[in-house]
A and B are shown apart, each in its own frame.
Chain A
Amino acid sequence: MTHEQQQQQGLNLDQWLGAYAARANTLSVSEVRALFAVVSRPEVVSLAGGMPYVSALPKELLSQSYETLMASRGDIALQYGSGQGDPVLRDQIRELMALEGIHSSVEDLIITTGSQHGLDLLSGLFLDEGDVVLAEAPSYVGAIGIFRHYEAHIEHVYTDDDGMSPEALQDRINAMLAEGRKIKFLYLVPNFGNPSGVTLSESRRHQILEICKRHHILVIEDNPYGLLYFDEKPPMALRSHNEDGVIYLGSFSKILAPGFRVGYVLAPPAIRDKMVLANESALLCPSSFSQMMISEYLATADWQKQIDTFRGVYRERRDAALQAMHDYLPGVRTTKPNGGFYLWLTLPEGIDSKAMLPLAVKELVAYTPGTAFFGNGAGHDNLRISFSYPTPDNIKLGIKRLSTVINLQTELLDTFGHKGGH
């Protein structure tokens, strides 16, 4: 831009502003995200991010895998690989999925760069602007971000302690169809959901599959937490009951480590073909090194015992979180998850968790506001606590601080006669 043009039109710090695709408008700087920068300070107890506690993974297990891999197949691990993913790893994943009742061909599995990437590929294949995605209320923030980016309409379906309500699902489908909208899929995190921590009951799984089959709606089952149960196993995967209408997303991020960025997708053959092409188009291939490290780990380490270790760590932290909720926030409703990483809190009337976050930062505790988990602006009176990463003592300290924050905010609201609530 010339000096004269600048003086007429003003200087815009993004000279490519007119060149972006329309969907780029869904991306912008967020004040809440900026506030989260403080969580890297050790004084702050972060109950915000859903990070696995990788310190519970003995690093020598991976060192051994690395040594063996480099000695035996180093040149292959450092080379490009298949766009569909390493066939050995895909075969091992079948064993993993069998734990949740899924039986499949190795041919129908695609390795992705984390299951988040699988979700992005699927959204790219299925979503046009304005298409409807049905999702739990609340739903996973990362999925909402992808659906928004593809300019989909996210229709939340009432969800309670037994997961998504089949009656509410039927109701929402009817409403969307009556509006003439195109429903592309139902997105579910059925086990120890993020952020709610709730699990979809066995009977509801069958009802939901039946409803979706009747309306020819594809189900995306995202299951990163299913093996991380505390007391009793969750019901078998939805995919175990329906091979044609369910796409299953799995991940090594929670049962091993997210640093590998390896996830997988099990899809019906026609969809699988398109996903492989899309995967190749986006990445050429997923990381050979990461896949083969995981493959070596699965072949040589006692990975089931390691998952047991993770379960023990997270169970202790869940217990610490629930005890602290009982001790410091007895009036605040929380879900009581039987696995996974999260508690979902419902705050006293009028408190807006997003508006309260700066006060929490001042009091050295961070959480994720409930609005992050809705595509429609709901969730002001909710917040998510993640108990996976902080130690039990820090969880207690964080929830104690949170109680101070909620008391201060309640006091403010009382002062203004609750006119400042949401």
Chain B
Amino acid sequence: MIPKQHSSDKLVIQVLAGGISHERDISLKSARRVADALTEQGATVIIREPDGNLLDYIAIDRPDVIWPVLHGATGEDGALRDILALTGVPFIGASSEAARLAWDKSIAKTLVSRIGIQTPVSVTLPKEAFKELDADAVLKIVSSSLALPLVVKPARSGSAQGVTVVRNIEDLAKAMIDAYVYCDVAIIERLVQGIELAVSVIDLGAGAIPLPAVEIEPVAGNFGFEERYTAGETNYFVPARLSSSLSERVARTAIEAHELLGLRHMSRIDMIVDESETIWFLEANVQPGLTETSLLPLSILAAKQTLGETYYSLAVAAHRGRG
């Protein structure tokens, strides 16, 4: 149960959306959903583009709270959050420091593994590494030590952009290139087969609360960009079809990851549970998607909450400096 946060005067909330990132479109869609939900709660919502006029917009709008509904670089890498912190206006979501750690999948994996959370074995390689060494030899040693199938992904990216499942060694080079067009650092990770899960976490200041886990079952087998954003191409089970003990372990893992990474107000932790019921951490999402096909809103509704009340509670928590 998400506790409701009340504020006597309705807040003025500036929603930042768009940006120059590969996920601009998703950000705009998320932001419009957020604005609709907050407006229904009586908040005054102004959507702004984070461009050269940002500080002027803040001076004009005089928001009580800013919600950077920005995906991808600048929005999630901590840079913009640093600037927001300097303005003194409270904002929803992780601090810049936490965002910087969680946004980089390889850093997040390293950190969570230190507290005993399992994460698929992987190597993280900047593209310069391949320039200096013989690429063929590196790919051979990587694929033989990790064993196929593999997942190749940009270290800093979202919405499954640049992600490839590699089942044949001859496809690995192309997968690397497809990841490097998004980010100069790529992760090659052993593919873990199992149940794909997303656990959203809401944190209003009185402790992080796990929402019901979403089990993801793409109709065509792969949860790529199209499957994420085309309604009908994925089936979701909310709550996930897990035993109660496994469900509790999954929720606990999500909370541990959220707290360890220092995330605030909300996050989404993506995991896989394999046949032996081992839980594998894949990544943490600093600003989860909030579109009509996104997973965090599904979890909120499954928890019998409304999007408007939950989003508004996040704004109130941020305004009070909590979470």
Q: A residues touching B (Cβ–Cβ < 8 Å)?
A: 6-7, 9-14, 17, 28-31, 33-38, 41-44, 355-359, 361-362, 364, 409, 411-413, 415-417, 419-421
Q: Which of A13, A364, A417, A421 has the most CB of B within 10 A?
A: A13
What's the nearest-Cβ distance from chain A to residue B170, in Å? 7
B178 touches A14 (CB 8 A): no
B57 at interface, CB cutoff 8 A: no
CA distance A29 to B177 in the complex (A): 23
Interface pairs (28), CB distance under 8 Å: A7-B237, A10-B235, A10-B237, A11-B235, A12-B231, A12-B232, A12-B236, A13-B232, A13-B234, A29-B230, A31-B226, A33-B25, A356-B181, A357-B181, A358-B22, A358-B161, A358-B162, A359-B181, A361-B20, A361-B22, A362-B22, A416-B173, A416-B174, A417-B136, A417-B173, A419-B173, A419-B174, A421-B174
What's the nearest-Cβ distance from chain B to residue A16, in Å? 8
Q: What band does the interface of chain B fall in when counting residues whose beta carbon is under 8 Å from A?
A: 35 or more
A37 touches B292 (CB 8 A): no
Total A-B pairs in contact (CB under 8 Å)?
116
| A421 proximity list for chain B (CB < 8 A) | 174
B161 touches A31 (CB 8 A): yes
CA distance A411 to B131 in the complex (A): 9
| B293 proximity list for chain A (CB < 8 A) | 13
Q: Find the A residue at minimum CB distance from B238.
A: A11
CA distance A348 to B251 in the complex (A): 50
| B235 proximity list for chain A (CB < 8 A) | 9-12
B187 at interface, CB cutoff 8 A: no
B180 touches A412 (CB 8 A): yes
A420 touches B25 (CB 8 A): no
Beta-carbon contacts under 8 Å, B118-150 to A: 127, 130-131, 135-136
B225 touches A31 (CB 8 A): yes
* Cβ contact of B127, chosen from A9, A29, A357, A412, cutoff 8 A: A412
What's the nearest-Cβ distance from chain B to residue A174, in Å? 36
Closest 6 CB pairs of A and B: A14-B232, A10-B235, A37-B25, A419-B173, A420-B177, A420-B174
Q: Which of A17, A355, A420 has the most CB of B within 10 A?
A: A420
Q: Find the A residue at minimum CB distance from B24.
A: A37
B271 at interface, CB cutoff 8 A: no
| A6 proximity list for chain B (CB < 8 A) | 237-238
| A36 proximity list for chain B (CB < 8 A) | 25
* Cβ contact of A415, chosen from B131, B226, B241, cutoff 8 A: B131
What's the nearest-Cβ distance from chain A to residue B173, in Å? 4
A13-B292, A412-B180 given; A364·B20 CB < 8 A: yes
Q: Which of B18, B232, B233, B298 has the most CB of A within 10 A?
A: B232
| B298 proximity list for chain A (CB < 8 A) | 11
Interface residues as binary, B54-66 with A (CB distance below 8 Å gives 1, 0 otherwise): 0000000000000
What's the nearest-Cβ distance from chain B to residue A397, in Å? 16
B182 at interface, CB cutoff 8 A: yes
Q: Find the A residue at minimum CB distance from B131.
A: A415
CA distance A181 to B181 in the complex (A): 41
* Cβ contact of B241, chosen from A7, A43, A409, cutoff 8 A: A7
CA distance A38 to B25 in the complex (A): 8
What's the nearest-Cβ distance from chain A to residue B96, in Å? 22
| Further pairs besides A358-B182, A420-B173: 17, Cβ < 8 Å | A6-B237, A7-B241, A10-B215, A17-B232, A29-B225, A29-B230, A34-B25, A34-B229, A41-B20, A355-B177, A356-B181, A361-B20, A364-B20, A409-B177, A415-B131, A420-B175, A421-B174
B229 touches A13 (CB 8 A): no
Beta-carbon contacts under 8 Å, B85-127 to A: 127
A38 touches B20 (CB 8 A): yes
A38 touches B24 (CB 8 A): yes
CA distance A200 to B237 in the complex (A): 56
B270 at interface, CB cutoff 8 A: no
| A359 proximity list for chain B (CB < 8 A) | 181-182
CA distance A10 to B292 in the complex (A): 17
What's the nearest-Cβ distance from chain B to residue A344, in Å? 22
B177 touches A413 (CB 8 A): yes
CA distance A35 to B127 in the complex (A): 23
Q: Find the A residue at minimum CB distance from B19.
A: A41
CA distance A410 to B24 in the complex (A): 27
* Cβ contact of B231, chosen from A13, A41, A357, A416, cutoff 8 A: A13
B178 touches A420 (CB 8 A): yes
B181 touches A355 (CB 8 A): yes
A355 touches B178 (CB 8 A): yes
B229 touches A29 (CB 8 A): yes
What's the nearest-Cβ distance from chain A to residue B129, in Å? 10
What's the nearest-Cβ distance from chain B to residue A49, in Å? 15
| A13 proximity list for chain B (CB < 8 A) | 231-232, 234, 236, 292-293
| B215 proximity list for chain A (CB < 8 A) | 10
What's the nearest-Cβ distance from chain A to residue B55, in Å? 17
Q: Which of B49, B181, B238 has the most CB of A within 10 A?
A: B181
| B178 proximity list for chain A (CB < 8 A) | 355, 420
CA distance A359 to B23 in the complex (A): 13
CA distance A364 to B22 in the complex (A): 11
CA distance A13 to B135 in the complex (A): 43
| B177 proximity list for chain A (CB < 8 A) | 355, 409, 412-413, 416, 420
B225 touches A10 (CB 8 A): no
| A28 proximity list for chain B (CB < 8 A) | 226, 230, 233
Q: Which of B21, B22, B161, B236 has the most CB of A within 10 A?
A: B22
CA distance A357 to B161 in the complex (A): 12
| A415 proximity list for chain B (CB < 8 A) | 127, 130-131, 135
CA distance A412 to B126 in the complex (A): 12
CA distance A359 to B180 in the complex (A): 8
B176 at interface, CB cutoff 8 A: yes
B26 at interface, CB cutoff 8 A: yes
CA distance A13 to B237 in the complex (A): 11
